[in-house]
Amino acid sequence: MKETTLQTSKNVSFDGISNVEAGYHRRQRKSIVVSLVLLAIALVLAAVMMLYGNTIYTPSEVWDALKEVEGSAVFTVKTLRLPRMLTAILAGFAFGMAGNTFQQLLGNPLASPDIIGVTSGASVAAVFGILVLKLPTGIVSLLAVVSGLFVSCLIYVLSQGGGFSNARLILTGIGMQAFLNAIISWLLLKASEYDVANALRWLSGSLNGVKLSEVLPLAIVVGVAGCGILLLNRQLTMLQMGESHAITLGVKSKRIRLILILLSLLLVAFATSVTGPIASVAFLAGPIASRLCGGGRTNMLSSALVGSVLVLASDLIGQFALPSRYPVGVVTGILGAPYLIFLLLRMNKKSEHV
């Protein structure tokens, strides 16, 4: 009897382990398939962006223009469309990955860089540089990066009273965002009407006028910071189990959390310095990827690809699908607003039940 009971318990144990492993591999396969589909969609949208515009070119004409130095299509393809397309992919990738990292790390869907004040730090410096200092575009971008990183570090320091707290960091960021947005509004009111248009164009989040020289630095930052976040993905998963569990498993929680935040801030700051604050991409990418791939995973790569797809698709919609042409940030902002309202209503209902 004892042997039979022992054998039965072993079978149950092994069946349980096999079921867990099967579920893990099933979710992993689904995540890979979803990522490949998202990559294919992003490539198709990128191809459409290169082919379609005021003048529609064939794939062979675009390919010839990319290889040539002079020609009727060279300026349009290499100077206008290619930088726009590459920036859309890289900026969407950066916003999507950074937003998902914040949300996973802090365990809150509201913990998005454009909601907790990170992008506002870059925006206030850029507006100041455009309206007050009259700086050229390259220096404005550099100033935006430095200011974004500085304000982000300030938010992190201010939220440290009595130890690290996810809720305190989010609330501090929201308060900082309100303060910085007030400064931006004041600068716009005091500025000359001839300069306000440039500042508003930057604040709306736009791919217009992006130069190929701006793409390489953004690509380097996205490559380095993105690889760093992917390498720390396993530690991030452990941090989601809780501070005590992560420490038990050997994770240096404070160091890993700080590195992940810094890498995410680099992504957001550099992407914002090139395109301006493209609204809602960082906010939406993670939840969409989670819906597509399923829960229980960080879905980091798929979130980044969702971000690229959102920016590419929104730019095409803003340029060609509406009666007037709108910057990409206007379209993504329209997409994000209903989800934010839904999320706030759902969180309010949960708090009432508690």
Q: What pLDDT, on the 0 to 100 scale, is given for residue 169?
A: 78
Query: Which pLDDT tens digit goes with each residue over 131-157?
Result: 888 888 778 888 888 888 888 888 878
Reading the block at residue 53, the tokens are: 């515009």
**Whole-angstrom Cα distance, residue 207 to residue 197?**
15
In the predicted structure, residue 16 carries a pLDDT above the cut 60: no
Domain 38-349 bears CATH identifier 1.10.3470.10: yes
Of the candidates 271, 272, 274, 276, the residue with the CA atom closest to the CA atom of residue 210: 274
C-alpha distances in angstroms, 263 versus 10, 89, 144, 226, 333?
45, 18, 16, 8, 24
Rg value, the chain, Cα: 23
Q: Using the predicted structure, report yes or no on whether residue 295 has a pLDDT greater than 60.
A: yes
Mean pLDDT score, 204-226: 90
Residue 244 has pLDDT above 80, yes or no: no
Residues 138 and 274: beta-carbon distance below 8 Å: no
**What distance in Å separates the CA atoms of residue 72 and residue 65, rounded to the nearest whole number?**
8
3-state secondary structure of 350: helix
Return the closest-CA partner of residue 184 out of 118, 132, 116, 123.
Answer: 123
Q: Does 106 or 44 have the greater pLDDT score?
A: 44
195 residue type, one letter: D
310 secondary structure, DSSP code: H
Greater model confidence, 14 or 257: 257
104/241: higher pLDDT:
104
Q: Which residue has the higher pLDDT, 250 or 35?
A: 35
Task: Give the pLDDT band of residue 116 (cuts 50, 70, 90).
Answer: confident
Give the separation between CA 285 and CA 95, rounded to whole angstroms. 8
Q: Among residues 233, 323, 216, 339, which one has the least CA distance to residue 279?
A: 339
Residue type, 9: S
pLDDT of residue 114: 73
Q: What does the DSSP 8-state code read for residue 278? A: -
pLDDT at 209: 82
The 10 Å Cβ neighbour count of residue 168 is 15
Q: Residue 79 CB: number of other CB atoms within 10 A?
A: 12
- The CA distance from 147 to 133, in Å, is 15
Tell me which of 22-26, 28-32, 207-211, 321-325 is least confident.
Answer: 22-26
Percent of the chain with pLDDT over 90: 23
Sketch the domain layout of the chain as residue ranges.
38-349
Residue 4 has pLDDT above 50, yes or no: no
